[in-house]
Structure 1
Amino acid sequence: MQTSLADFIRDSSAGSEADSILRTCVHCGFCTATCPTYQLFGDELDGPRGRIYLIKNLLEGGSAGARTRRHLDRCLSCRSCETTCPSGVDYHRLLDIGRNVLDARLPRPAAERARRFVVRETLARPWLFKPALALGRLAKPLLPPALAAKIPSATSAAAAAWPTPGRHRRRMLALAGCVQPTLTPQTNVAAARVLDRLGVELFEAPGAGCCGALRYHLDAQAAALADMRRLIDVWWPWVERGEVEAIVVTASGCAAHVKEYGRILADDAAYAEKAARVSALARDLSEVLIGEHEPLSALLNAAAANRSQRPDAAATAPRARVAFHSPCTLQHAQKLGGVVESLLVAAGYELFPVADSHLCCGSSGAYSLLQPAIATRLRSDKLAALNEGGPTVIATANVGCQNHLAAGTQTPVRHWIELIADRLDG
């Protein structure tokens, strides 16, 4: 694609990056076939190729209007197009640049800015999100159905104890995150229990908080960079001393973002080297467990043998039927499609194919709050595919997907690591 960027961006680092990305695109249109919003609307401008043209026009000095904003806002940033693209177009990075330029040239109306501010500041601050959620649960019977559906009930899962620290020489840091400790606190506990059985101590750094992904993709990149620097500072003592093998992230969306710290902060003289080191250590939980495949398999086989010898109903119970929703940040951003599925099969679960498994469920960070109509349509389609085989449980790998899907189905929705922990516990 030929480009002629405008003076305001041509010689900047963002301009150079955007120019390179635009020139990679060959207009083939393969991306439209796997774009969720193009599937819904059938509009070229609601597909990656159309949005690339809109961004190109914007960066070349063209008009910055409401139409451009509408179509860029509708993008889920799911990156399915990147998986499909034969030319390797770095679409999500181009989208970040385009949205940033658009926000500078065309400020949002005050009411819309306020709405987005409340969403990102509430979700990104655990100390604010927890009481806000508690109040929402109290007021839930009084709220309109559409709003009440977005407020998850308190988890009914029994609280399991975090393993006793100091028992293993191998240690890994875990990201606690912003909403996950409140919405699904059992996720990191289950991860710690599984890793403990593998001889690894998993621990959270006090005060770590949000990874910055939410604000980075929601009109607040400067605040997001501050979140990222703060998190690096919290982790750095352990990283600098070489005391941790990895930084484990159980939410695939956060994992994808932490892995990009090195790129995002590459021009920051004070943090570039630290960010690169943190990104190099970052691992999605599935990567960690697949790396421990042999000892994990041995533990799972031993647990299965113990179950078969038990005289109670658990020994003869049919295998649980699992439908796995692979979040976009797992399969498209991190390129880890099939990894969790192989772990669940190894744990003895009956896994069946899910139609259109490459498509987004509609959660996408704060997207389901800002684009509820589109998100609800995508969730309905996804749940229809997931429930088609009659699963006893739906598994996923990201807290946002987990809660978004759970709000639309009676089938239990759990993080996949809980299922692995259940198997090991017998």
Structure 2
Amino acid sequence: MQTELADFMVGTQDGDDAQAIIGKCVHCGFCTATCPTYQLLGDELDGPRGRIYLIKQMVEGQPVTRETQLHLDRCLTCRNCETTCPSGVQYSRLLDIGRRIVETKVERPMKERVLRYSLAHFVPERRLFSAAMELGRLARPFLSANLQAKMPVGQVPRPTPIGHHARKMLFLEGCVQPAISPNINVATRRVLDALGIELIAPASAGCCGAIRLHLSNLDSGLDDIRRNIDAWWPYVEQGVDAIVMNASGCGATVKEYGHLLRDDPVYAEKANRIVALTKDLAELLPGYVDKLRPLIASPERRHVTFHPPCTLQHGQQIKGAVEGLLRSLDIDVRVPSDAHLCCGSAGTYSISQPALASQLRNNKVAALEATEPELIVSANIGCISHLAAASKTPVRHWIELVDDMLSRAHWVE
């Protein structure tokens, strides 16, 4: 598809990128078959093909309207369409460009501006978010059912390993995960400690940048990225083996650092090195199965259903790794019939688009519970908290299950 860039896009990186990405699209429509919002709404402009056409109009200088903004807002950025696309269209990168253009040309209603500002300046700040969660839990009995669902009961912390090992890896603790479900990070440390790996989490590292980037706050998102690189770089120079991610949303974002900072003369090379070192737990642990299996003490066969987050299967293109690992530990793992579809969490989507997010979640929970699991496991805090709000079956991170199965002889609690 040919694109004639408007003057304001000519000679810019966004213009060049948009022209190249749009040029790969042949409008075959395969993407609409796997687009969650198109399936719900049945509107061509609420599917990838229609949104690409809207962005093409924008970069060619045609009027940008509030309706254009709404159609782009409704996209989950699940990237299912990228997995489906036979032409390799990098839709998510084009969508980011389109959303940034819209923000400069269409003024949002005051309510939306306040919400987006609050999300961008509050959620990524770990201390603020953690304090708010504690206050919310205290007030939980007085909150509405909808707010209670978003305010999970606090966890009883499990013992954290304090041992030191020769093999060291960096670890991103995240911004919301420590407040919502801190035992995910504890379980990650415990399992890797049992394998002789010490995790290092520099205090100055924070949000991966995803929240602000998804809200089109590019400069603030890039600041988050540079801060993390600065926090990790001394350890990279010392030769750490990897940078471990246990939230697939963070992993998908960190693996984009090289692209996002490709024109930064100071950080471009460092960013590429960070990307090369970044490993999701699902990439890391399969290499340790032989060492992990003897540490597993649980005699009963567990029956669980795995919900693969979009950021794992479509963003990072990691498929089957979690299921394979758990099966190697003698766990009966099932997947729902709609495993390729988004659950509706999608970062801040469940807050900014609650109606669509609830529909997608209800469909996903029905498919998950149809497999009759004793436990639902996933790989991203957003999916876990979103599904748990509607599921009768407990929902946890899969690393917590592995931690539960570690030999009691290894941990004295």
User: In structure 2, what is the equivalent of residue 279 of structure 1?
Assistant: 275
Question: Is 1:333 matched up with 2:315?
Answer: yes
Q: CA deviation at 1:164?
A: 2.3
TM-score (norm 2): 0.96
In structure 1, C-alpha distance between the alignment counterparts of 2:54 and 2:287, rounded to whole Å? 42
1:293-344: per-residue Cα shift (whole Å, max 9, x none)? 3333xxx2x345x55xxxxxxx4x4x22101000000000101111001111
What is the match of residue 119 of structure 2?
Answer: 119
Given residue 394 of structure 2, which amino acid in structure 1 is its aligned partner?
Answer: P
Aligned to 1:213: 210
Q: Partner residue of 1:163? A: 161
Give the AA of the match of 1:79.
Answer: R
Amino acid at match of 2:290: E
2:237 maps to 1:236: no
CA distance in 2, matches of 1:120, 1:232: 20
User: For 2:190 and 2:140, how far apart are their aligned partners in 1?
Assistant: 34
Greater shift, 202-211 or 92-101, is seen at 202-211
| CA distance, structure 1, for counterparts of residue 76 and residue 340 of structure 2 | 13
In 1, distance between residues paired with 2:135 and 2:118? 15
Name the aligned partner's letter for residue 160 of structure 2: W
Look up the equivalent residue of 2:275 and give its one-letter code.
S
Q: Write out aligned runs for 1:164-179 (5 A).
A: 164-166=162-164, 168-179=165-176
CA distance in 2, matches of 1:404, 1:103: 27
Moved over 6 A (4+): none
**1:403 match:** 385
1:263 aligns with 2:263: no
Question: Paired residue for 1:152?
Answer: 152
* CA positional deviation for 1:144: 3.1
Hey, what does 1:7 align to over in structure 2?
7
Instruction: Indicate yes or no: 2:193 matched with 1:196.
Output: yes
1:291 alignment partner, one of 274, 283, 287: 287
Structure 2 residue 90 is matched with structure 1 residue 94: no
State the AA in 2 paired with 1:181. P
Q: Give the 3-state SS of the residue equivalent to 2:327 in structure 1.
A: helix
Alignment of 1:252 onto 2:213:
no
What SS class does the counterpart of residue 7 from structure 1 fall into?
A: coil
The residue number in structure 2 matching 1:312 is: none
**How many angstroms apart in 2 are the aligned matches of 1:109 and 1:416?**
40
Letter in 2 for 1:208: A
Question: Please, which moves more after superposition, 71-80 or 57-66?
Answer: 57-66
Q: Deviations over 1:337-358 (max 9, x none)?
A: 1100111111121112311100
Q: Hey, what's the Cα distance between the residues in 2 that align with 1:162 and 1:143?
A: 32
Measured after TM superposition, the shift of residue 172 of structure 1 is 0.4
User: Could you tell me how far apart the structure 2 residues matched to 1:292 and 1:48 are?
Assistant: 39
Report which stretch shifted further, 353-362 or 146-155: 146-155
Q: Is the 2:163–2:193 contact (alpha carbons within 8 Å) kept by the matching residues of 1?
A: no
RMSD: 1.3
**Alpha-carbon distance between aligned partners in 2 of 1:421 and 1:153, rounded to the nearest angstrom:** 20
1:354 to 325, 331, 336: 336
CA positional deviation for 1:103: 0.5
8 A Cα contact 1:347 1:423, kept in partner: no
For structure 2, the 5+ residue unaligned runs are 409-413
Structure-1 residue corresponding to 2:355: 373
**What does residue 411 of structure 2 align with?**
none
Establish whether residue 43 from structure 1 lines up as the match of residue 25 from structure 2: no
Structure 1, 168-177 or 287-296: larger mean CA deviation: 287-296
Once residues 292 and 134 of structure 1 are traced to their aligned partners in structure 2, the CA distance between those partners, rounded to angstroms, is: 37
Q: Shift of the alpha carbon at 1:410?
A: 2.2
The letter of the residue matching 1:287 is E
Which residue number corresponds to residue 386 of structure 1? Answer: 368
2:64 paired residue number: 64
1:192 & 1:369 partners in 2: Cα distance?
Answer: 30
SS in 2 for 1:414: strand
- How far did 1:382 drift? 0.3
Paired position in structure 2 for 1:16 = 16
| 3-state secondary structure, aligned to 1:292 | helix
8 Å Cα contact 1:192/1:203 also seen in 2: no
Tell me the matched-pair count.
408
Residues 174 and 249, structure 1, Cα contact 8 Å, conserved in 2: yes
SS at match of 2:147: helix
SS of the residue 1:172 aligns to? strand
Partner residue in 2 for 1:324: 306
1:311 corresponds to: none
Distance 2:49 2:91 in 1: 9
Cα deviation per residue 1:133-188 (whole Å; 9 max; x = unaligned)? 12222333333332332222212xx422222232x211101001101111111112
Of 396, 401, 407, the match for 1:425: 407
